[in-house]
Amino acid sequence: MAPATPLPESAYYPAWVAAGYAAEMGYLTGRRAEVRGDPRRLMASAQSVICVGKLYNTPLPYSTAFTDAELGWISRYAWGDDYHDVLREGLRRLAVRLMEASAEPFEWKICVDTAPLLERAYARHAGLGWIGKNTCLIHQGMGSWFFLGELLVSFAAEPDRPPPDRCGSCTHCIDACPTQALVPTGRPGGPPYALDSGRCISYFTIELRGTIPAEIRAGVGAQVFGCDICQDVCPWNRRAPVTSDPAFAVRLSAPPLERLAALSEEDFRALFRNSPVERARYRGFLRNVAVAMGNARMEKFRPALERLAASPDPLVAEHARWALEQLASDPS
């Protein structure tokens, strides 16, 4: 439980936006940025925020142990069903149970990460974990492999307290990031590190609709959707439990790149229906596949890349041509 009032972290967010760390994600800036600092702007009667975490970790290997150059890597959170639907349904059931148990009626509103709310900050104040140097919420016993959701309610409840920060002097996540997306803030009393989305592999492979900068592409490696590296190397995830929820059973984790490159738009929609991977959109996904093939530098990918280079979509074609240049520079 956290109070439905502005938190100290709301003072840091404008500085993050002003630094350009939101990159081209317009939904994180402007008026929606102003709304994020106060839950009462989402529901005027809100007095408390009930914060929940939903474990999604699975027992399959981490991306840092991934060595097969013929395969592409999909971020762990996207291996199963779309978590938005799963969390919304769980929060709806929670709201119904609370209403059944309450002597007085109350208003409520469900928020998952599409709502303009500083959910990690409220989850921290609700005692679910601390915000690590990788900017993920870390729970001491469960690590960081969980989704966050919130239920705004119009009744007052005793708030919980944030746990201590237990990252200490560890810099595993910072050192491991291939594109150096975790940057020091230099802000006394504030978060020591921030995520620069304009250098983040997850941003480039999910949110960006245009060209991945040439200087970033080598760092993307085999990632075709999202990136888990800063969580994979986190010591707090070494003993993280695994989920038993069938919604997060693995569909695809590391599919063959040749198979992905051959997908039609209809194939893409069928393969990733009700999956977070839909977020990248077909052209963005093929762009990512081309970059991963270029980074693999395998001559066997040449026919697939030549087909992509002939694509009528200029975004896909340009990245495929870049990938072909990588084959020519270092054939294998």
Tens of pLDDT, residue by residue over 131-164, are 999 999 999 999 999 999 999 999 999 999 999 9
Sign of the alpha-carbon dihedral angle for 241, 57, 109, 35: positive
Longest pairwise C-alpha distance within the chain: 72
Determine contact, residues 168/74, Cβ cutoff 8 Å: no
Residues in contact with 86: Cβ distance below 8 Å, sequence separation at least 6, in sequence order: 54, 147, 245, 247, 248
**Degrees (nearest 5) of the Cα angle 185, 131, 218?**
65
User: Which of these, 132, 8, 159, 147, lies nearest to 79 by C-alpha position?
Assistant: 147
38 catalytic per annotation: no
φ, ψ for residue 245, nearest 5 deg:
-75, 120
Q: Is residue 23 part of a domain?
A: yes
Return the pLDDT at 130: 97
Is the model's pLDDT at 37 over the cut of 90?
no
Q: Report how far residue 272's alpha carbon sits from residue 284's, in angstroms, rounded to the nearest whole number.
A: 14
Is the model's pLDDT at 332 over the cut of 50?
no
Return the pLDDT at 45: 98
What's the total number of domains in the chain?
Answer: 1
* H/E run at residue 224: strand 223-225
Residues in contact with 62: Cβ distance below 8 Å, sequence separation at least 6, in sequence order: 228, 232
Specify whether the backbone of 103 is left (phi greater than 0), alpha (psi in -120 to 50) or beta: alpha
Catalytic annotation, pick one of 113, 160, 165, 313: 113
Q: Is residue 318 part of a domain?
A: no
256 DSSP β-pair partners: 71
Q: Report how far residue 286's alpha carbon sits from residue 290's, in angstroms, rounded to the nearest whole number.
A: 6
Tens of pLDDT, residue by residue over 182-196, are 999 988 777 899 999
Q: Is residue 307 part of a domain?
A: no
Q: What is the CA radius of gyration of the chain?
A: 21
Residue 230 belongs to what domain range? Answer: 2-255
Q: Is residue 310 part of a domain?
A: no
Return the pLDDT at 330: 53
Is the model's pLDDT at 329 over the cut of 80?
no
Q: Is residue 163 part of a domain?
A: yes
Predicted TM-score of the model (pTM): 0.94
Report the chain's mean pLDDT, rounded to a whole number. 95
Helix, strand, coil share (%) of the chain residues, nearest 5: 45, 10, 45
Tokens for 289? 């596949």
Neighbour-count burial of 301, counting CB atoms closer than 10 A to its CB (0-12 exposed, 13-18 middle, 19+ buried): buried
Tens of pLDDT, residue by residue over 68-123, are 999 999 999 999 999 999 999 999 999 999 999 999 999 999 999 888 999 999 99
Distances in Å between the Cα of 171 and the Cα atoms of 61, 121, 178, 183 are 22, 21, 14, 12
Which position has the token pair 């051959």? 262
Tokens for 151? 């239920």
Helices (H), 43-156: 83-101, 119-125
Helices (H), 158-228: 172-176, 201-202, 214-220
Q: Is residue 268 part of a domain?
A: no
Q: Is residue 178 part of a domain?
A: yes
